[in-house]
């Protein structure tokens, strides 16, 4: 029957078929979790050294789990800069905890892919990777503990926790430039204030505080003004993080029992939805860069925490790790788009710099 149609109708029919096929394949591919998640694990260190951690990477579909960075100091959660060129984290030493920057970030797969690129006959392509630099950006401020850095959307500032080391654990949310020149205390309350994340437009910061007697979610302007309690709930609310589209805030709370669940709410604290509803603790939510998924860690009764991922509405919850040791604090990798592999004339490029050496 299709053969009997006039040519214009055949063309139109082919266009319709291609359009429908594209919709089908796009939906099918969209259902597969994509991206890479970094998390902390103590699995590589025997007691009593399990306070130290290794940074691991795992694909969002649960495959390709691998160790990335280890240290004899204790790492804090890794935060990727918006353009993916740098990471920020805290290192807990014997006498102090400071914020460090690592630039550039070159993941193992990036160099491996470069080395696999075809080279001209008789030539060997060798990546000339830029030297990685490490910088302690809080050392000059001294006298306090600095933890949990969060990048501003423009990549020019870090929000972080600053603790004075006193017995009551007084902690404030501070903001500093990434050069480590100016640090400003935004909260200055008598209790514990801990940073959550920036709003996507960089105008506000969400955080949690026990200033009202228990942990609550607050929001403030990025200069510390207009601090507002969003939750006002007798339960413990913590670990807030802004969705990439700026419409929701995910957080953890024990408001429906003794265990923590992952919740989401609108920016005014309304429309609170329990996303996990597990009989164990679900904590540390982290939005994927496209806002379609949330990673978190879950502590089953009698077991150490593992990394999970779910759709942003709570559907399709999937366990990614199953090691008997503790896997915690997931963050999503933001790839550096300037680190690319281009095959043009059978030559690979790494920031435009390569060495060609004869075999």
| Predicted local distance difference test score (pLDDT) of residue 28 | 40
Decide: 303 and 320 in contact? Cβ < 8 Å. no
- 205 within 8 A of 194, measured Cβ to Cβ: no
The DSSP H or E segment spanning 109 is helix 108-115
Mean pLDDT to the nearest integer, 214-225: 97
Task: Specify the higher pLDDT residue, 202 or 42.
Answer: 202
b or e along 127-141 (b: 16 or more beta carbons within 10 Å of the residue's beta carbon)?
beeeeeeeeebbeeb
Distances (CA, A) of 62 to 117, 159, 306, 310, 313: 26, 30, 12, 12, 20
- What's residue 6's pLDDT? 65
Residues in CB range of 140: below 8 A, 6 or more apart: 180
Task: Give the whole-angstrom CA distance, residue 154 versus residue 173.
Answer: 19
Is 90 exceeded by the pLDDT of residue 16?
no
Nearest alpha-carbon partner for 60 in 241, 286, 243: 286
CA-to-CA distance for 262 and 280, rounded, in angstroms? 11
Query: What region, left, alpha or beta, does residue 142 occupy, with left being phi > 0 and alpha being psi -120 to 50 degrees?
Result: left
User: Which pLDDT band holds residue 9 (cuts at 50, 70, 90)?
Assistant: low
Q: How confident is the model at residue 18 (pLDDT cuts 50, 70, 90)?
A: low
Q: What confidence category does residue 276 fall into, taking pLDDT thresholds of 50, 70 and 90?
A: very high
Average pLDDT estimate for 282-300: 96
Share of the chain above pLDDT 70, in %: 76
Burial grade of 226 (CB within 10 A; 0-12, 13-18, 19 or more): exposed
314 vs 54: which has the higher pLDDT = 314
* pLDDT tier for residue 7 given thresholds of 50, 70 and 90: low
pLDDT, averaged across the chain: 84
Above 60 in pLDDT, residue 1?
no
Q: What is the pLDDT of residue 17?
A: 57
pLDDT at position 354, please?
33
Inter-residue contact 263 to 253 (CB < 8 Å): yes
* pLDDT, position 222: 98
Kind and range of the H or E run holding 58: strand 54-59
Task: With a cut of 70, say whether residue 356 has pLDDT above it.
Answer: no
* Helix (H) or strand (E) run with residue 90 in it: strand 87-92
- CA nearest to 187, candidates 155, 154, 152, 229: 229
The pLDDT assigned to 358 comes to 29
Average pLDDT over residues 334-339: 80
Model pLDDT, residue 345: 33
**pLDDT band (50, 70, 90) for residue 310:** very high
The token pair that represents 250 in the structure block? 């995910």
For the stretch 147-197, pLDDT in tens is 999 999 999 999 999 997 666 668 999 999 999 999 999 998 888 999 999
Query: Is 63 a residue whose pLDDT tops 90?
Result: yes
SS (H, E, C) 164-191: CCCCCCCEEEEEEECCCCCEEECCCCCC
Q: Output helix, strand, coil percentages for the chain, rounded to the nearest 5.
A: 10, 40, 50
The DSSP symbol for 192 reads B
Residue 24's pLDDT band, with cuts at 50, 70 and 90, is very low
The answer to whether 330 and 37 are in contact (CB under 8 A) is: yes
Nearest to 99 by CA among 111, 109, 112, 86: 86
Please give the Cα distance from 247 to 201 (Å, whole number).
11
> What is the pLDDT averaged over residues 206-220?
96
Closest CA to 146 of 100, 101, 187, 99: 99
CB distance 207 to 173 below 8 Å: yes
Distance CA 241, CA 231 (A): 14
> How many CB atoms lie under 10 A from the CB of residue 317?
18
Q: Which residues pair with 184 in a beta bridge?
A: 175
Give the per-residue pLDDT at 106: 84
pLDDT tens for residues 48-60?
A: 555 568 999 999 9
């Amino acid at each position: 029957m299709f053969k009997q149609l006039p040519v214009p109708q055949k063309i139109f029919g082919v266009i319709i078929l291609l359009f429908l096929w594209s919709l089908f394949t796009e939906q099918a591919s969209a259902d597969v979790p994509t991206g890479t998640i970094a998390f902390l694990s103590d699995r590589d260190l025997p007691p009593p050294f399990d306070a130290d951690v290794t940074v691991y990477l795992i694909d969002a579909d649960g495959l390709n789990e691998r160790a990335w960075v280890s240290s004899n100091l204790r790492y804090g959660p890794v935060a990727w800069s918006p353009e993916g060129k740098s990471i920020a984290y805290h290192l807990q030493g014997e006498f102090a905890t400071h914020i460090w920057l690592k630039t550039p970030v070159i993941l193992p797969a990036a160099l491996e892919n470069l080395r696999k690129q075809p080279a001209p006959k008789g030539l060997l392509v060798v990546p000339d990777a830029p030297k990685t630099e490490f910088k302690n950006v809080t050392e000059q401020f001294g006298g306090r503990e600095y933890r949990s850095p969060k990048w501003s959307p423009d990549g020019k500032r870090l929000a972080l926790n600053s603790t004075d080391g006193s017995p009551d654990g007084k902690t404030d949310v501070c903001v500093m430039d990434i050069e480590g020149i100016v640090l400003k205390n935004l909260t200055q309350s008598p209790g514990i204030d801990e940073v959550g994340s920036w709003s996507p437009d960089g105008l506000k910061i969400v955080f949690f505080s026990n200033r009202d007697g228990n942990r609550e979610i607050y929001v403030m302007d990025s200069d510390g003004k207009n601090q507002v309690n969003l939750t006002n709930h007798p339960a413990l609310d913590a670990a807030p993080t802004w969705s990439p589209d700026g419409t929701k805030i995910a957080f953890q709370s024990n408001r429906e029992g003794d265990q923590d669940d992952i919740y989401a709410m609108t920016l005014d604290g309304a429309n609170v939805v329990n996303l996990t509803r597990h009989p164990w603790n679900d904590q540390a939510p982290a939005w994927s860069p496209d806002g379609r998924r949330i990673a978190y860690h879950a502590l089953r009764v009698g077991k150490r925490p593992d990394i999970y991922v779910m759709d942003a509405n709570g559907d399709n919850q999937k366990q990614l790790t199953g090691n008997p040791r503790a896997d915690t604090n997931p963050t999503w990798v933001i790839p550096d788009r300037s680190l690319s592999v281009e095959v043009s004339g059978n030559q690979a490029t790494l920031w435009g710099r390569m060495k060609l050496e004869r075999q």
